[in-house]
Chain A
Amino acid sequence: MSNAGKIGSLGRMVSCFALGIFAAIVLLGDFIAPYDHALQSRSEPAAPPTRIHIVDESGEVRWPFIYRRSLVDPLARTFEDDRSESYDLTLFAIGDPYYLLGVVPARIHLFGVDQKGTGTPRVYLLGTDELGRDRFSRIIIATKFSLIVCPLGAILAGLIGVVIGLLSGYTNRTVDTILMGIADTMLSLPALMIILTARAAFPLELPPVRAAGLLVMIFALTGWAEFARLMRGLARSLKEREFVLAARSLGLTEIRIMVRHILPNALPTMLTQVLVMLPYFLLAEVALSFLGVGLQEPYPSLGNLLASAADINRLQREPLLVLAPGFVIATFVLTIRGLGAKSERVA
């Protein structure tokens, strides 16, 4: 038992750490990404990851550095290092301009090679895509987008679910039957199919902000049923409790009892549920973008990055690099599961 507890708490620590990294990516994504996600390097299309050296020509170990590469054979996509000049990797490197948190103009990135003039080579941790854009930066920005859209959708869905669940658990039986009938119907149908049906009602190609807004709205309108079911159960059990009886005997209105007494007691469970549901919303967003009806090129999302992996040639040539967004998704899902398992045990 104590052994199981130890491993559980270790898993939880790892999950918390990973969640912290995801939060950092959401807040400081542009700072962590070494380059602008849309910037194309014409001389290095579909390039493999940059080799990072720590041993120089004379055989001495030194601070990590890279060489400038040039495309030798455009057909076979072979690159050659130019060993005449080396460039040091630095922390807090000066690079492409961006807006920190969307407002503060900045040029400092977490790591990279200080940009001096136009000829400075770039460090590509995961190589570049066919347009010469840095894959690593694109994954970071894509993660940021996905992790803004999904929690927003989950929270909105949770709000709708709380209202419907309260109504259902608190008013008369007819309302309850109708609302829960609707919720059960929503739950029994394939979620992705409902989402796609809702998506079909809107124009296919949308600018990124509107696409994000639309995704949030669709997630909220299709994802509330699970929350409503839970909230209804909570409301029904809470309204029989002594403190609610006491409140009622003091002559408080039903609305006040609902808002001041039932809701605060249901809140922790509902917040946990929002967290537990996050992976489902993320997977839905990924599926939509993968199918080309979510966020679209040139803006990166985890789904449309994976769509480029559906190209068989690219998939065969560098499977790990094109599937990298998939690892991000899997890590996020595992992280939430790790936290969720623990919170379930506490409850």
Chain B
Amino acid sequence: MITIVARKLLQGTLTLLFVSIISFAMLSAAGGDALTALSDNPQVSSETVERLRTVYGLDRPLSKRYFAWISAAVRGDLGESFTYRTPVRDLVLSRLSNTLIVALPALILAFGFAFSGAYLLESSRSKLLDRMAEIWIALSSSTPRIVAALVVLLVIVGSADATTRQEPGSYLVVVGCMIVIALPLQALLLAQAKSELARASGAEFVKFARAKGLSERVVIVKHASREALNPLITLCGLSLGSVVSGSIVVETVLGWPGIGALMVTAVRGRDVSLVMGIVIITSLLIWIANSMAELLQMVNDPRLIETEAAGNE
């Protein structure tokens, strides 16, 4: 067990290191920084720009800058944002918590919907319901998040001035963000849950449970679900990445101050330290989520611990 944890930690550290090197090199090497735009301003002389570069340390070689950045980052200091003039770490963490307020309930919503939907489909065994579910999956997974977000925006604005004649309340925005983030996710999860549950309920041990005379509900909930759960947990861990991707568009459209909207501002302002901060903290979060998903799988299926301990492949 300890070797497993140690290996995971090593993998995680290497991953973060790799991500930081690649993104730092990409952002710094391709030419141009936050001060490039400043040199277009006729009121700022090129000497001033050069002086500012020295102040911010942008004239030093790339390797030196990276080393300075990473040694500060390890101590928890991610530098200062050019556009916001505040420490990157505090900014990113506060925006990240805003995103998670929306994203975690969305994840739970999608997971709950997918699992209960799959359970209903499996226990009813209705051809019609199955077909309808397939159409629903196809339609909801094909709706671009931008369009879904715009429709939600339309609903929010419409309901705000028709009934209350007030500014749209932020709780509406939160609920809207949740729905838009959960929409493509539930399609993915529902499709997966449906096929996993169908596969699991054909398995020998499920037939046996049924032969014992257990009720269909107990068979599905206690036996088949457990088998079907592991791929879904993996998917849930992985889908956090897609949730963050989705939040970029959704938050921009609906004006929710989360990490996605911050990323867009950072890219538009070419705020390198802010982009770096967002990338590193998000990678860390996703790595933690994936590790937790793996842990949960081992709890659900203890056989995995042995295969892990024996080494991969």
Query: Counting CB contacts under 8 A, is A312 at the interface?
Result: yes
B261 → chain A closest CB, angstroms? 10
A291 to B, closest residue via Cβ: B264
Query: Counting CB contacts under 8 A, is B248 at the interface?
Result: yes
Query: Counting CB contacts under 8 A, is A293 at the interface?
Result: yes
Q: Find chain A residues with CB under 8 A from B93 CB.
A: none
- Scan residues 97-111 of chain B and give those whose CB is less than 8 A from a CB of chain A: none
B295 → chain A closest CB, angstroms? 16
Query: Counting CB contacts under 8 A, is B194 at the interface?
Result: no
One of A287, A292, A316, A323 near B249 (C-beta < 8 A): A287
Query: Counting CB contacts under 8 A, is B143 at the interface?
Result: yes
A225 → chain B closest CB, angstroms? 12
Interface centre among B26, B138, B146, B150 (most CB of A within 10 A): B146
Q: Find chain B residues with CB under 8 A from A13 CB.
A: none
The list of the 8 closest CB pairs from A to B, nearest first, reads A326-B147, A201-B30, A192-B245, A190-B244, A190-B245, A333-B142, A200-B267, A190-B241
Query: Counting CB contacts under 8 A, is A198 at the interface?
Result: yes
A330–B142 touching, CB < 8 Å = yes
Q: Which of B79-87, B169-177, B280-288 contacts A (4 or more CB under 8 A)?
A: B280-288
Q: Find chain B residues with CB under 8 A from A182 CB.
A: 18
A-B residue pairs in contact (CB < 8 Å), sample of 15: A181-B14, A181-B18, A185-B18, A190-B241, A190-B242, A193-B263, A197-B27, A200-B27, A204-B268, A283-B145, A293-B267, A306-B150, A316-B157, A319-B154, A329-B144
Q: Find chain B residues with CB under 8 A from A200 CB.
A: 27, 266-267, 270, 272, 275
One of A188, A196, A312 near B286 (C-beta < 8 A): A188
Query: Counting CB contacts under 8 A, is A334 at the interface?
Result: yes
Q: Find chain A residues with CB under 8 A from B268 CB.
A: 204, 292-293
A340 → chain B closest CB, angstroms? 11
Query: Counting CB contacts under 8 A, is A310 at the interface?
Result: yes
B238–A188 touching, CB < 8 Å = yes
B266–A191 touching, CB < 8 Å = no
Q: Given A291-B249, A291-B252, A323-B150, check contact A199 B142 (CB 8 Å).
A: no
Q: Given A188-B290, A200-B267, A310-B253, check contact A323 B245 (CB 8 Å).
A: no
Which residues of B does A touch, CB under 8 Å? 11, 14-15, 18-19, 23, 26-27, 29-32, 36, 138-139, 141-147, 150-151, 153-154, 157-158, 238, 241-246, 248-249, 252-253, 263-264, 266-268, 270, 272, 275, 278-279, 282-283, 286-287, 290
Chain A count of residues within 8 A CB distance of the other chain: 42
A337–B138 touching, CB < 8 Å = yes
B25 → chain A closest CB, angstroms? 9
B137 to A, closest residue via Cβ: A337
B19 to A, closest residue via Cβ: A185
Residues 171-194 of chain A, each 1 if its beta carbon lies under 8 Å from chain B, else 0: 000000000011001011111110
Residues 150-189 of chain A, each 1 if its beta carbon lies under 8 Å from chain B, else 0: 0000000000000000000000000000000110010111
Q: Is the interface of B mostly helix, strand, loop or mixed?
A: helix
B11 → chain A closest CB, angstroms? 8
One of B31, B151, B264, B287 near A188 (C-beta < 8 A): B287
What is the CA–CA distance of A333 and B267 in the complex, to the nearest angstrom? Answer: 27
B248–A192 touching, CB < 8 Å = yes
Given contacts A190-B245, A192-B245, A330-B143, 17 further A-B pairs with CB under 8 A are A181-B14, A182-B18, A193-B245, A193-B263, A196-B263, A196-B267, A197-B279, A200-B27, A200-B270, A204-B270, A290-B249, A310-B153, A315-B157, A326-B143, A329-B144, A333-B142, A337-B138
B263–A334 touching, CB < 8 Å = no
One of A187, A193, A293 near B279 (C-beta < 8 A): A193
Query: Counting CB contacts under 8 A, is A276 at the interface?
Result: no
Q: Find chain A residues with CB under 8 A from B150 CB.
A: 306, 309-310, 315, 323, 326
B144–A196 touching, CB < 8 Å = no
Interface centre among A188, A198, A310 (most CB of B within 10 A): A188
A121 → chain B closest CB, angstroms? 31
A316–B266 touching, CB < 8 Å = no
